[in-house]
Amino acid sequence: MPVSETRAERWERVARLLKEERISNIGAARRLRVRKEFVREVRADLGMRPYRLLRHQWTVVDYEALSVPVDGGHRRWLGRFSTSNVPMAGQSQTAYQVAFRLLHGREPVGRCEGTCTRKACVAGEHQEDDVMRAAQPGRLTYQGMDLVAIRQALRGKPPYPPLRLEEKRMAFRLADPALGVVATEVPVVQLARRLGCCDQTIRRWRDEGVPG
């Protein structure tokens, strides 16, 4: 903020940005070097609705505007917290889920929570969901699923073990080479045979996503 700038000039700068771009109060405050409370006042003066980010609208810029890096690769949340001290990115969406989605490019499955020792850390690299937990080599079962049978179906030779529906879905998720359970992507026909599904089911899951 220029030293000699008047309140009216500062108001004009903020108003111009709010009219030109859909941006959060914190994002605008950081860019223009003003207080977020002042941005909120200008937004109200303009008759604009309070800024709300929907689940699908979060970007890396939004996320970084509401969190700051700290020592050890952690990130501290600057936004709202729930009554149980969980960092929140919406009414029912946690900052952990946003960080996970932005890093991995997919929705977290099941519980999404931190793996580090810093309380309420929102670094994407420090979040883990059920799929990542199930991919851990030392696990034999997870939430009633036989992980040994799932790994045998993905990596072994026929006859493949029969899998229940939830195990087929988890096996499909674990067939992503990025998780390390398989070395390369398994072709549709082969994956269907290994999981005991029809080809159309595998193609649909790849196109539309596997049900939760």
Q: What is the pLDDT of residues 140-166, one digit of tens each?
A: 999 999 999 999 999 999 999 999 999
* pLDDT at 115 (0 to 100): 93
Query: Cβ of 74: how many Cβ atoms within 10 Å?
Result: 20
- Mind listing the pLDDT tens digit for each residue in 53-65? 666 678 898 899 8
pLDDT by 10s per residue, the chain, length 212: 556 789 999 999 999 999 988 788 888 888 898 998 999 999 999 988 887 766 667 889 889 988 999 999 999 999 889 999 999 998 889 999 999 999 998 889 999 999 999 999 999 999 999 999 999 999 999 999 999 999 999 999 999 999 999 999 999 999 999 999 999 999 999 999 999 999 999 999 999 889 87
User: Which two structure tokens, joined as six digits, stand for 119?
Assistant: 């309380």
Query: What are the helix (H) ranges across the chain?
Result: 7-20, 25-32, 36-45, 60-65, 95-104, 130-134, 147-155, 165-174, 188-195, 199-208
- pLDDT attached to residue 31: 86
Q: Give the per-residue pLDDT at 194.
A: 97
3-class secondary structure, 179: helix
Sign of CA dihedral 111, 116, 117, 122: negative
Distances (CA, A) of 36 to 30, 52, 64, 162: 8, 15, 15, 57
- Residue 196's pLDDT is 96
At 25 the pLDDT is 85
**144 touches 134 (CB < 8 A):** no
Q: What is the pTM of this model?
A: 0.70
Exposure class string for 110-130: b at 16+ Cβ within 10 A, else e: bebbbeeebeebbbbebbbbb
Question: Is 76 strand, coil or helix?
Answer: strand
